[in-house]
């Protein structure tokens, strides 16, 4: 056996554990288990045609060599992406730390107080810099954040506006090109008409419900929008402002100018450009719109002891739970990047941010002045970081590229130059030398930065920001390091124990997959750099697309969508474009089984489709006759079916081939939600089964870490007839011949983290991937059998097997007064994160162990679940004072001198032996969700401030 095979590191169970596992399950071999699990007619007949696996060492060499093909030029391209300095302690202690990047979305607040606090810091930073009342954490990129702003303003139109079908949205021509493209994609299906123009010529007619402005403009001009906003308000036109976060340190905030929503990206707060992402976008608005706000809001509340605690606010109002009434489908966001950006603000504090913004501004002014002396003129009348220069673009480009410098070339005689935190005096002299060469003159050397300011006096920021303690005391590295560690210790991540979240596939995120993210020649490229400078990226992305084509059995892939839900949206929009191309534009019905993830109906609604829900039969499967009847009923208008496979019930439904046939016969396309692809890879695939398009969650199946709720990558893979419609980008052309407009801001979405999935597939190869699927199914069925007799599995396949996950019935425990949440909270005392709670069936737990967990960990988890089952039997509905209801137990509780609970401390906190060696302490007692929703606070105000209300 080759002991350096990556598969041996990735897959948990050891060879000598297998016999025991088989015996427990009641099979002789993996082959028998797979035979009993997967319907035969969907199995692939041949192995996936992938290149032989590389070892970790070989892969790291390969990726280093490929990285050398990326040319790292100095980037002054701007357009929403800037070189940024990732503070080394943030890089090492967060970005490269599994304690942070392997955590899940903080649904279980008691074991997530660390990242919740970090996200509250992020929200506070956004709220204060934008001058708004509330902010979320976070959205996917500036383009989609702007689209969410448009959708929110459309949604909150006044009754009059709705009655009069007011549907126009003004877009300033100063908007970033990629933002415009995303707005175009997102406006049409919801019935919004975009009107693009010069804001100074806008007529404020009452056909408009809203407008979006860019601040500063795309090539740097700082416009004074005050009178525009005043005039708009008078006509009940709501205003969104897309703002540059760093400029807001110097400029009057959009909130002070009267904006209703402010969006943008926090990339330049210490996040690498990464050839497009991932970066956290922000979204800030007024309190009155909180119920319509997309994404996740972190809020302050109290625990059962009345102590301050944090949690995700308004969870039951979360957009995707509104299903077909939702105006947004955001689920996975950009949590890890928001954590980093918030920490950048903590580390620099208000003074540090001032210094950085001043320096960036001074670099721009100094360069403009020096160019002026050279006879090269700059046309922005006021600017923060970007100057617009009149010069022969072709000559400048030739001279610049020879010096490894990128500018943005607006047209034949206009060059845009954006400055950033990394710009030095030497860089400025290099820029001057380029222009000297292009104009045949010689430039005087600059030796210091000017103090002249090029901002309009009435737009200079006078309000202060980030006064809170947290932004003013972690400015030495020791202090920051300890603060990060303190937060990290509050969070349960994969580096502590297994996280068996069904449908989320919390598998290993291998170090070898992660390392290249820190290599400068991978993380320092601007997404709009000339494509020939990104050869390494282009090779890697193309190979990954091809690997995903092979794995899904499809003909083409786009990596652009930044989450699974964005992939769903891309898929439906591609279907729409295809149907339009064959004269079937009227098709607008999406059939969606009742068990679907909430993002499915939300997405269909955003794509302008009408959702028709199909029934689930008693055994959890799609009710084929109901589906047939509805497909036939709607056959003239059927656009598609959205189906998850294996289903969210953890079963490979044998009827899938029949289901797909029904949809095709009635003129529809089949969209497969690939969140459960971990149960398919190497055994079957959507192409083979007959679907037309699927999305993949690279952050589930393909090893990108969840990062506490993002980043994600949600590529779609499509059959041949849909390839021409894959999305493009307005700056760098990509996608198909009849491409739809952009889904995301960057041409290849979050290209940097695509490296992880590329590494995963390249190091596992065909055998390792298939073996991973085998072991995912093996581990799930092992848990199912070990828990049999203690917990019932709700649904199984025809031969009584689970797929890669299973749903445990917990509703009967209500007789003893125990809810499924009590089990989730009690698991914390045992050192585990709960499985998925109440999805897709209320009152149940959905467990997905993944292939990466070994037998010892599976047993530890099962022991905990069985021990809890005994505690449930001991509980009674009449007496709430028991270990389950009081869970989780904190260290403060356990060490109190006044222990009055009717069970021992040992039972409370150390119910099983292994806990003596490895105990995780929840940060707070059970949080009060209702209290937090009634008193929504989403910034770092002290608790007393809101306890008075
Ligand atoms: C996770 C998931 C989604 C949404 O994916 P995101 O990346 O969170 O947007 C959609 N469908 C199913 C079944 C999922 O499990």
Q: Which of 323-332, 464-473, 684-693 has the lowest mean pLDDT?
A: 323-332
Kind of pairing between the strands at 669-674 and 638-644: parallel
508 falls in which pLDDT band (50, 70, 90)? very high
Q: Per-residue pLDDT tens for 429-461? A: 999 999 999 999 999 999 999 999 999 999 999
Q: Name the percent of the chain lying above pLDDT 90.
A: 95
Picking from 745, 764, 783, the residue at the C-terminal end of a domain is 764
Residue 937 in tokens:
């606070």
For residues 941, 944, 946 and 947, what is the CA-based torsion angle, rounded to 10 degrees? 160
Beta pairing, strands 844-847 & 806-809: antiparallel
Please tell me the distance from the alpha carbon of residue 819 to that of residue 821, in angstroms, as a whole number: 5
Spacing, Cα 318 to ligand 1 middle (Å)? 14
Ligand 1 geometric centre to CA of 7 (Å): 26
Ligand 1, atom 7, residue with closest C-alpha: 564
Helix (H, G, I), strand (E, B) or coil at 126: helix
| pTM summary value | 0.98
Would 216 be classed as within a structural domain? Answer: yes
Count of structural domains within the chain: 2
Helices (H), ranges, 171-239 = 177-190, 226-234
> What is the distance in angstroms between the CA of the first residue and the CA of the last residue of the chain?
67
Q: Residue with the nearest Cα to atom 3 of ligand 1?
A: 564
Distance CA 105, CA 10 (A): 23
Contacts of 354 (CB under 8 A, 6+ apart): 249
889 pLDDT above the threshold of 60: yes
Is the residue at 839 inside a domain?
Answer: no
The string of DSSP letters for 47-79 reads ----PPPPPHHHHHHHHHHHHTTB---EE--BT
Give the number of other Cβ atoms within 10 Å of residue 800's Cβ.
12
**DSSP H helices in 516-558:** 520-523, 535-552
Pick the closest to residue 294 from 148, 185, 123 (CA basis).
148
In the structure, how many helices (H) and strands (E) does the chain have? 31, 25
Query: What confidence tens digit (pLDDT) does each residue in 67-82 have?
Result: 999 999 999 999 999 9
Average pLDDT over residues 704-708: 97
Q: Say how many Å lie between the CA of residue 334 and the centre of ligand 1.
A: 14
Q: Is 449 left (phi over 0), alpha (psi -120 to 50) or beta?
A: beta
Q: Pick from 673, 677, 699, 841 the residue to mutate for probing ligand 1's pocket: most ligand atoms within 8 Å of its CB.
A: 673
**pLDDT per residue as tens digits for the range 268-314:** 999 999 999 999 999 999 999 999 999 999 999 999 999 999 999 98
Distance CA 432, CA 746 (A): 30
Q: Note down the domain range covering 271.
A: 121-298+328-345
At 326 the pLDDT is 87
Instruction: Give the atom of ligand 1 at the shortest distance from the alpha carbon of 568.
Output: 10
pLDDT grade for 946, boundaries at 50, 70 and 90? very low
Q: Is residue 86 part of a domain?
A: no
Dihedral (CA of 160, 162, 167, 173) sign: positive
Q: Tokens for 594, please give them.
A: 């009742």
Q: How far apart are CA 239 and CA 182, in angstroms?
A: 18
**Nearest atom in ligand 1 to 700's CA:** 1
CA distance 841 to 745: 35
Interval between CA 710 and ligand 1 midpoint (Å): 12
Residue of 104, 140, 597, 803 with the most ligand 1 atoms within 8 Å of its CB, for mutation:
597
Ligand 1 atom having least distance to the Cα of 699: 7
CA distances from 401 to 82, 422, 442, 539, 747 (A): 18, 19, 18, 22, 22
Q: What is the pLDDT of residue 938?
A: 82
Nearest residue (CA) to ligand 1, atom 5: 564
Query: How many whole angstroms from 713 Cα to the centroid of ligand 1?
Result: 11
Q: Does residue 789 come out as left (phi exceeding 0), alpha (psi in the -120 to 50 range) or beta?
A: left
Specify the residue with its C-alpha closest to ligand 1, atom 15: 503
Query: Tokens 């947290």 map to which residue?
Result: 470
949, pLDDT greater than 50: no
For residue 195, tell me if it sits in a domain.
yes
Structure confidence at residue 929 (pLDDT): 87
Neighbouring C-beta atoms of residue 849, cutoff 10 Å = 31
Assign 849 a pLDDT band (cuts: 50, 70, 90).
very high
Three-class secondary structure of residue 188 per DSSP: helix
If we measure between CA atoms, which residue out of 553, 593, 630, 542 comes closest to residue 841? 593
The pLDDT of residue 107 is above 60: yes
**Average pLDDT of the segment spanning 678-686:** 98
pLDDT band at 877 (very low <50, low <70, confident <90, very high): very high
- The residue among 360, 368, 375 whose CA lies nearest residue 420 is 360
Q: How far from 859 is each of 2, 17, 21, 161, 498, CA to CA, in Å?
A: 27, 12, 11, 60, 11
pLDDT greater than 80 at residue 947: no
pLDDT in tens, 314-331: 876 666 677 888 889 999
d(CA 400, CA 431): 8
**For ligand 1, which residues put their CB under 6 angstroms from it?**
331-332, 503, 563-565, 597, 599, 644, 648, 673, 675, 697, 712, 714
For residue 751, the SS3 value is helix
Strand order in the sheet with 208-215: 134-135, 281-285, 261-265, 238-243, 208-215, 168-172, 193-197
Q: Is residue 769 part of a domain?
A: no
DSSP output for 632-677: HHTTTTEEEEEEESS-TTS---TTHHHHHHHHHHTT-EEEEEETTG
716 CA → ligand 1 middle, Å? 13
Residues in the chain, overall count? 949
Question: Given phi > 0 = left and psi -120 to 50 = alpha, else beta, which region is 311?
Answer: beta
Short-list 744, 742, 671, 678, CA closest to 713: 744
Distance 185 CA to ligand 1 centre (A): 21
Task: Give mean pLDDT, residues 166-178.
Answer: 98
770-804: per-residue pLDDT in tens?
Answer: 999 999 999 999 999 999 999 999 999 999 999 99
What is the number of the ligand 1 atom nearest to the C-alpha of 673?
11
Rounded to the nearest whole angstrom, what is the distance from the C-alpha of residue 170 to the centroid of ligand 1?
32
Phi, psi of 837 (to 5 degrees): -100, 130
Residue that terminates a domain, selected from 748, 764, 780 = 764
Q: Calculate the alpha carbon distances from 79 to 83, 129, 943 in Å.
A: 12, 20, 39
Q: Are 805 and 846 in contact (CB under 8 A)?
A: yes
Residue 935's pLDDT is 83
Q: Does 642 fall in a domain?
A: yes
For residue 714, the ligand 1 atom closest to its alpha carbon is: 7
Report the C-alpha gap between 562 and 710 in whole angstroms.
Answer: 9
Mutate to test the pocket of ligand 1, among 331, 672, 694 (most ligand atoms within 8 A of CB): 331
In ligand 1, the atom with minimum distance to the C-alpha of 712 is 7
Across the range 626-637, mean pLDDT stands at 98
- Cα separation, 423 vs 75, in Å, equals 10
Torsion sign over Cα 292, 297, 300, 303: positive
Mean pLDDT for the chain overall? 96
Ligand 1 pocket test: pick from 320, 564, 841 the residue with the most ligand atoms within 8 Å of its Cβ: 564
Q: Compute, in angstroms, the gap from residue 704 CA to the centroid of ligand 1.
A: 14
pLDDT digits (tens, 9 = 90+) for 11-28: 999 999 999 999 999 999
Banded pLDDT at 700 (limits 50, 70, 90): very high
- pLDDT bracket for residue 944 (50, 70, 90): very low
Largest separation between any pair of C-alpha atoms in the chain: 90
Q: Whose CA is nearest to atom 8 of ligand 1?
A: 332
DSSP assignment of 777-791 equals HHHHHHHHHHHTTTS
Q: What's the token pair of residue 342?
A: 């918030």
Q: Measured in angstroms, how far is the CA atom of residue 893 from the centroid of ligand 1? A: 37
Q: State the pLDDT at residue 319.
A: 64
Q: Is residue 685 part of a domain?
A: yes
pLDDT score of 945 more than 70: no
Alpha carbon of 45 to ligand 1 centroid (Å): 29
Q: Name beta bridge partners: 48.
A: none
Tell which atom from ligand 1 comes closest to the C-alpha of 567.
9
91-112 average pLDDT score: 97
Q: In ligand 1, which atom is closest to the CA atom of 332?
A: 8
Quickly list H helices, 92-176.
Answer: 98-101, 113-130, 142-155, 159-163
> How many angstroms does the Cα of residue 485 sit away from the middle of ligand 1?
30
DSSP 252: P
311 by DSSP, 3-state: which? Answer: strand
Q: How close is the Cα of 142 to the center of ligand 1, in Å?
A: 21
Q: What angle do CA 883, 107, 289 make, to 5 degrees?
A: 130
| Residue 932 reports pLDDT greater than 90 | no
Predicted pLDDT at 329: 93
Dist CA 140 CA 563 (whole Å): 8
8 A C-beta contact, residue 310 and residue 368: no
DSSP, res 607: T
How far, in Å, is the centroid of ligand 1 from the Cα of 567? Answer: 9
SS3 content of the chain, % helix, strand, coil (to 5): 45, 15, 40
The arithmetic mean of pLDDT across residues 812-824, rounded, is 98
Among all chains, which residue has been given the structure tokens 């598998």?
507
200 CB burial (10 A radius; 0-12, 13-18, 19+)? exposed
Q: Note the pLDDT of residue 941.
A: 63
Ligand 1 center to residue 604 CA distance, Å? 14
Q: What is the DSSP letter of 95?
A: I
Residue with CA nearest ligand 1 atom 14? 675
What count of other Cβ atoms lies within 10 Å of the Cβ of residue 158? 12
Q: Burial letters for 531-569: b for 16+ Cβ neighbours within 10 Å, e otherwise? A: eebbebbbebbeebbbbbbbbbbbebbbbbbbbbbbbbb
Q: Which of 107, 604, 642, 675 to mutate to test the pocket of ligand 1 (most atoms within 8 A of CB)?
A: 675
CA of 330, closest atom in ligand 1: 9
What six digits make up the tokens of 701?
A: 């199946």
Q: Is residue 584 part of a domain?
A: yes
Question: Which residue owns the Cα nearest ligand 1 atom 6?
Answer: 564
**Which DSSP letter does residue 455 get?**
S
pLDDT at 619: 86
Q: Which of 715, 732, 764 is the last residue of a domain?
A: 764
Which atom of ligand 1 is the closest one to the Cα of 503? 15
The alpha carbon of 753 and the centre of ligand 1 are apart by a number of angstroms equal to 18
Tell me the mean pLDDT in the region 581-595: 96
Determine the distance separating the centroid of ligand 1 and the alpha carbon of 674, expressed in angstroms.
Answer: 8
Q: Is the pLDDT of residue 943 over 80?
A: no
Kindly give the distance from the C-alpha atom of residue 712 to the centroid of ligand 1, in angstroms, as a whole number.
10
Residue 560: give its domain's CATH number.
Answer: 3.40.640.10
């Amino acid at each position: 056996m080759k002991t350096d095979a990556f598969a041996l590191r990735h897959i948990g169970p050891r060879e000598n554990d297998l016999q025991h596992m088989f015996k427990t399950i009641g099979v002789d071999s993996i082959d028998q288990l797979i035979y009993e699990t997967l319907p035969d007619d969907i199995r692939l007949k041949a192995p996936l045609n992938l290149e032989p696996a590389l070892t970790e060492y070989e892969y790291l060499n390969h990726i280093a060599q490929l990285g050398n093909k990326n040319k790292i030029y100095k980037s002054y391209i701007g357009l929403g992406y800037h070189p940024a300095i990732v503070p080394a302690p943030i890089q090492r202690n967060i970005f490269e730390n599994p304690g942070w990047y392997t955590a899940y979305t903080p649904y279980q607040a008691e074991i997530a107080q660390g990242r919740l606090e970090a996200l509250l810091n992020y929200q506070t930073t956004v709220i204060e810099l934008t001058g708004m009342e509330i902010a979320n954490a976070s959205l996917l990129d500036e383009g989609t954040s702007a689209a969410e702003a448009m959708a929110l303003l459309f949604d909150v139109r006044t009754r009059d506006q709705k009655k009069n079908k007011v549907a126009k949205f003004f877009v300033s021509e100063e908007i970033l090109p990629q933002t415009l493209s995303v707005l175009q994609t997102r406006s049409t299906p919801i019935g919004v008409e975009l009107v693009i123009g010069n804001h100074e010529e806008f007529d404020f007619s009452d056909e408009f419900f809203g407008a979006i402005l860019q601040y500063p403009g795309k090539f740097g001009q700082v416009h004074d929008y005050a009178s525009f906003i005043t005039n708009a308000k008078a006509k009940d036109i709501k205003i969104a402002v897309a703002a540059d976060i760093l400029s807001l340190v110097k400029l009057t905030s959009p909130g002070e100018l009267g904006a209703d929503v402010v969006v943008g990206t926090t990339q330049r707060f210490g996040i690498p450009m990464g050839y497009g992402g991932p970066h956290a976008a922000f979204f800030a608005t007024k309190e009155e719109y909180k119920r319509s706000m997309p994404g996740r809001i972190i809020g302050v509340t109290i625990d059962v002891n009345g102590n301050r605690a944090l949690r995700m606010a308004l969870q039951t109002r979360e957009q995707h739970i509104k299903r077909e009434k939702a105006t947004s489908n955001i689920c996975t966001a950009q949590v890890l990047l928001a954590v980093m950006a918030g920490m950048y603000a903590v580390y620099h504090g208000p003074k540090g941010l001032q210094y950085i913004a001043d320096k960036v501004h001074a670099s721009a002014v100094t360069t403009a002045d020096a160019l002026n002396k050279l006879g090269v003129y700059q046309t922005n009348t006021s600017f923060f970081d970007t100057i617009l220069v009149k010069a022969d673009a072709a000559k400048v480009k030739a001279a610049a590229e020879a010096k490894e410098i990128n500018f943005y070339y607006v047209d034949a005689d206009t060059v845009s130059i954006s400055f950033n935190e990394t710009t030095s005096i030497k860089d400025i002299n290099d820029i001057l030398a380029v222009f000297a060469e292009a104009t045949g003159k010689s430039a005087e050397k600059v030796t210091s930065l000017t103090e002249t300011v090029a901002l309009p006096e009435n737009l200079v920021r006078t309000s202060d920001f980030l006064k809170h303690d947290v932004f003013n005391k972690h400015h030495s590295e020791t202090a920051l390091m300890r603060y990060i560690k303190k937060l990290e210790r509050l969070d349960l991540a994969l580096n502590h124990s297994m996280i068996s979240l069904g449908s989320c596939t919390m598998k290993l995120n291998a170090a070898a997959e992660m390392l290249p993210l820190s290599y400068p020649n991978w993380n320092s490229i601007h997404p709009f750099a000339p494509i020939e400078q990104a050869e390494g990226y282009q090779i890697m992305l193309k190979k990954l697309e091809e690997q995903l084509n092979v794995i899904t059995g499809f003909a083409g892939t786009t990596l652009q969508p930044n989450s699974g839900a964005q992939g769903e949206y891309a898929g439906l929009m591609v279907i729409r474009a295809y149907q339009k191309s064959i004269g079937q534009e009227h098709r607008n019905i999406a059939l969606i089984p009742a068990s679907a993830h909430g993002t499915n109906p939300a997405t269909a609604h955003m794509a302008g489709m009408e959702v028709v829900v199909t029934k689930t039969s008693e055994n959890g499967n799609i009710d084929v006759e109901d589906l047939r009847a509805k497909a036939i009923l709607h056959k003239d208008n059927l656009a598609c079916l959205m189906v998850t496979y294996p289903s969210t019930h953890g079963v490979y439904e044998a009827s899938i081939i029949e289901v797909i046939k029904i949809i095709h016969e009635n003129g529809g396309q089949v969209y497969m939600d690939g969140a459960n692809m971990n149960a398919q890879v190497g055994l079957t695939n959507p192409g083979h089964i007959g679907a037309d398009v699927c999305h993949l969650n690279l952050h589930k199946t393909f090893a990108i870490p969840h990062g506490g709720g993002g980043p994600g990558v949600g590529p779609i893979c499509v059959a041949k007839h849909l390839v021409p419609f894959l999305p493009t980008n307005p700056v760098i052309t990509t996608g198909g011949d009849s491409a739809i407009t952009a889904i995301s801001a960057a041409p290849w979405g979050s290209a940097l983290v695509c490296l992880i999935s590329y590494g995963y597939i390249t190091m596992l190869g065909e055998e390792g991937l298939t073996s991973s699927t085998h072991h995912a199914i093996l581990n799930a069925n092992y848990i199912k059998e070990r828990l049999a007799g203690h917990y019932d599995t709700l649904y199984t396949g025809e031969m009584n097997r689970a797929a890669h996950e299973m749903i445990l019935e917990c509703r009967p425990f209500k007789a003893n007064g125990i809810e499924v949440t009590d089990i989730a909270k009690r698991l914390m005392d045992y050192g585990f994160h709960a499985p998925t709670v109440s999805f897709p069936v209320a009152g149940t737990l959905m467990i997905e162990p993944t292939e990466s967990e070994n037998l010892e960990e599976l047993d530890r988890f099962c022991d905990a679940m069985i021990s809890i089952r005994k505690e449930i039997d001991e509980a009674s509905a009449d007496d709430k004072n028991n270990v389950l209801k009081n869970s989780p137990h904190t260290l403060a509780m356990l060490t109190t001198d006044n222990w009055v609970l009717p069970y021992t401390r040992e039972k409370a906190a150390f119910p099983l032996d292994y806990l003596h060696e490895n105990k995780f302490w929840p940060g707070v007692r059970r949080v009060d969700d209702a209290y937090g929703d009634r008193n929504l606070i989403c910034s770092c105000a002290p608790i007393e401030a809101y306890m008075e209300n």
